[in-house]
Structure 1
Amino acid sequence: ALGVWGAVSGGAAAVGPVLGGALTEGPGWRWIFFVNLPVSVAAVWLTLRVVPESRGTRGMRVDWLGTVAFAGFAGGVTYAVVRAGEDGWGATPTLVSFALAALALVCFVLVERRVAHPLLDLSLLRKPAFVGVMAGGLAFNGVAFGGMPYLSIWLQTVLGMSPVRGGLTLLPLTGAAVVVSVLAGKLLHGVPARLTIGGGLLLIGTGCFCQAVLGAGSDWTTLVPGLVLVGVGTGLVAPGIAGAALAAVPAERAGMAGGAVNTVRQLGFALGVAVSGTVLTSRMRDTLPADAAHTLAGGGAGALRGTFSEHALRAAFASGLDAALVTAGLVGTAAGALVLALVGAGRAERTGGPAGVTESGARTLSGEETASHG
């Protein structure tokens, strides 16, 4: 089940640019936002109707203060990274944004320590396995998908591809992610999560390094080997990280753990986009004026062609992408090593239980079944 879920989750992240390209060429770019409305309404309705756990427990209250504080932290740190790309790391807007984000994080910790029904039980952070899963989730989406907006801009505004064709170039990643997710969920059920998640992140990092070989004369085919590696890594991480989050905490905290790891994945994606943009523009400033670098990174290559040569624009954007991809590769490699060090092998190995019975899987066994397996 987690394999199928991972295939849908990982595949959707890469299919999005293709569908976005079709909407952009068809009814217009605004529909990339409108299309989410009916999808979200249908998803909420189906969840409330067919997923009993979504109704929650009577007496549980939403931790509104914690939600607002964490949103302030996430928004503040992401905006600070964006401002660093615009104004520099030592600029006043950047430092103020970082300070506000830190203040929001302190407020979040204080609220979670005192509220009756916390958004996140901070005691879970004492578990190395849970910390490892959270770190892996944060890095996963940022490393695997954070640079995609800028790859899309490069393909369309520099290489001259249409939005749909630019999205189709990501199919090697999509196909690999979907196939590997299904196979991993089915065939690697007994493999420790630290190996699938940690190994997957190492593959994603390696895939980013393989893409960081762009030059002024490169085309989209240069990306294919790296995209395939990122897709294989995504196929290993996406299903494994969900199961690892559940296995790292007590059964009654499973929903909290699942929500937390999905939240840090989305935060990781936002930070990945922001960091990629900052690194990209900073590197392009080595060969272009600051204003021109920001214009080029924002898709304004057409407006610069009368001022700069085609070769200069291609070389500048390629060097910026290379720097962003190397940064992603380093983060992915470091995150993979951290997961391998922190995430345990699962209850089955620790207790000598049967291969293939993970901690999360063991919770589904009845007392009689547990006794027979014991």
Structure 2
Amino acid sequence: MGGRRVRPGLVLATCCTALFVSSMNAVLINVALPMIRAGLGASATQLQWVVDAYTLMIASLLLATGSMADRFGRKRVFMTGLVLFAAASALCALAPTTAWLIAGRGLQAVGGAMLTPVALSIISATYTDAAARARAIGVWGAVSGVSLGLGPIAGGLLTDAFGWEASFWLNVPVCVAAIVATALFVPESRAPRPRRLDPAGQLLMMVFLAGVVGALIEGPEIGWSSPPVLALAGAAAAGLAVFVVVERRSAEPMVDIRFFGSAPFSASMLIAVAVFTVQGAFLFLMSLLLQGPLGYSASATGALLVPMAVVLALSSPFSGRMVGRRGTRPSLVIGGAGVSLAGLMLALLPADARMWYLLAAFMVLGVGLGFVNPPITTTAVAGLPLSQAGAASGMASASRQVGVALGVAVAGSVAGVDDARLVAASRPVFWLAVALGLVVVVLGVVSTTEWARGTRRRLDALFSA
């Protein structure tokens, strides 16, 4: 550090700036989708890839970037991520075609994968006192909630005033400011014993995820029995099979397959995928519904989504306190029930739905998502030996992104119809949300039984042997 005094507050502010821009970007793009479709002549399938090129790449790289930062230096990887994110955002804003935009979104995700997990590592390394670290992480969580709340309204205002490109241009000056602050204030740090990189596992995971999501996106467009879709499905199956073999034989695997012997851990992964499938499908589909048959502008769409984000931000800490007092079961049951109820309200959505009905459904969904999110990580971490807490948290984050990608793929299967039929075509997606909410309720109960705790104890014995 060249003798320079570390200022933890400035380090935290810098890291939170990166979190703010990357988190808000995920929400901004959904509000801008109808404008992108109109401006670039994008099909429903291409709109899905605009979103999923980002989420897929993020999900694939989240685990690897943490290991890279531990090995090569957290500040170095963090700055690289900021540069990539800014450059890719500019490329997206300048995109003359949808294919260009999709490629830019994939590159943007490479940078984004170097931001959130690495920034959290920087904060943990900077705040060595446990109480101070807890307060810093609390600020970090609050910034995430604020970014999700501001994202819809900011995206709507920018899109209406300046076009969809403005959502990407916004990232550039914020990233430049964060790059300067990182160079000036963030100290370099590395892990004393970094994990080995697992390029084979990384590649196979990307093949599996891209195959699954690609088949779901392309199937409705070109036919489920078409050669490209069958090839994507086959690649996904082969990628998963080889991944399991490779990871079992690796000394330091990206994903230790033994983790899934713990019922609480496995349940947390399934819950994350289920609930974020609902969230991904909701954000993608509701933007098209609100700005299509329901007749709202982009700004009004953003404003309608803000109450959901506010309720989510308020219910999450309440759920966290409930988890601390009563365990994860009550929060998961309440959250899953909320997701199901919101899905039911949207499945019964009338074509001339009033604003109050939409707001009520969105806020119920906010309660559901807010209650489920905290116990996902808690269940994942509690489901593994303490020494594997970092891996559990990383895999929970990756599972969330996988869920969003699947949700967009499912929602996009009905997005190609005209506005007159879109409300009716959307109903099966919302009935799926009802079912996934009930799955969360069941898993919330099963993962907290004595049988589930027994599988966790057996895993403890396996790792301590």
- Which bin holds the TM-score, normalised by the shorter protein? 0.7 to 0.9
* Structure-2 residue corresponding to 1:205: 340
CA 1:330 to 1:59, structure 2 compared with 1: closer, same or farther past 3 Å?
closer
- Of stretches 28-37 and 105-114 in structure 1, the one that deviates more from structure 2 is 28-37
Q: Name the structure 1 match of 2:17.
A: none
Q: Are residues 1:105 and 2:240 paired?
A: yes
Map of 2:252 onto structure 1? 117
Corresponding position of 1:307: none
> Residue 345 of structure 1: CA displacement?
8.1
Contact 2:198–2:254, Cα closer than 8 Å, also in 1: yes
Residue 23, structure 1, aligned to residue 158, structure 2: yes
For residues 317 and 194 of structure 2, the distance between their equivalents in structure 1, rounded to whole angstroms, comes to: 38
> Offset at 1:249?
1.0
Find the counterpart in structure 2 of residue 252 from structure 1.
387
Deviation at 1:202, TM superposition (A): 2.4
* Displacement after TM superposition at 1:7 (Å): 5.8
Q: Distance in 1 between matches of 2:364 and 2:188?
A: 35
2:346/2:430 contact within 8 Å kept = yes
Look up the equivalent residue of 1:318 and give its one-letter code. V
Are 1:177 and 1:234, in contact at CA under 8 Å, matched by a contact in 2? yes
Distance across 1 between alignment mates of 2:188 and 2:400: 22
Q: Which amino acid aligns with 1:107?
A: V
Per the alignment, in what secondary structure is the counterpart of residue 292 of structure 2? helix
Deviates more, 1:115-124 or 1:189-198: 189-198
CA-to-aligned-CA distance 1:291-343 (integer Å, 9 cap, x gap): xxx253xxxx5xxxxxxxxxxx1xx1111222211111112212321232124
1:78 aligns to 2:213 (yes or no) = yes
The Cα of 1:133 is off from its aligned counterpart by 0.5
Question: Displacement of 1:106 after TM fit?
Answer: 1.5
**Which string of whole-angstrom CA distances, capped at 9 and with x for unpartnered residues, describes residues 324-365 of structure 1?**
111111122123212321245899x99xxxxxxxx9xxxxxx
How far off its partner does 1:121 sit?
Answer: 0.9
Matched residue, 1:150: 285
Give per-residue Cα distances to partners, 1:4-59, cap 9 Å, x unaligned.
7666546644643322222322343134344446666849959x94797xx33425
TM-score (normalised: structure 1): 0.75
Find the aligned partners of 2:230 and 2:239 in 1 and give their Cα distance. 14
Q: Quick one: structure 1 residues 148 and 85, their matched pair in 2 at CA, closer, same or farther if it must change by over 3 Å? A: same
Structure 1 portions without partners, runs of 5+: 282-293, 302-312, 351-358, 360-374
> 2:42 maps to which residue?
none
Partner of 2:294: 159
Specify whether residues 142 and 102 from structure 1 end up closer, same or farther in structure 2 by C-alpha distance, changes over 3 A only. same
The one-letter code of the counterpart of 2:216 is V
Root-mean-square deviation (Å)? 3.1
Q: Does residue 241 in structure 1 map to residue 376 in structure 2?
A: yes
Query: Is 2:430 aligned against 1:318?
Result: no
Q: Which amino acid aligns with 2:210?
A: G
State the 1:198 CA deviation.
3.7
| 2:330 equivalent among 195, 214, 218 | 195
Alignment length (residue pairs): 317
Counterpart-to-counterpart distance in 2, 1:92 and 1:265: 30
How far apart, CA to CA, are the structure 2 residues paired with 1:13 and 1:208?
21
Contact 2:315 2:370 in 1 (8 A): yes
> Percent of aligned pairs with the same residue?
31
TM-score by length of 2: 0.61
- In 1, the alpha carbon distance for the partners of 2:175 and 2:405 equals 20
Superposed, 1:163-312 pairs within 5 Å as 163-278=298-413, 280-281=414-415, 294=416, 296=418, 301=419
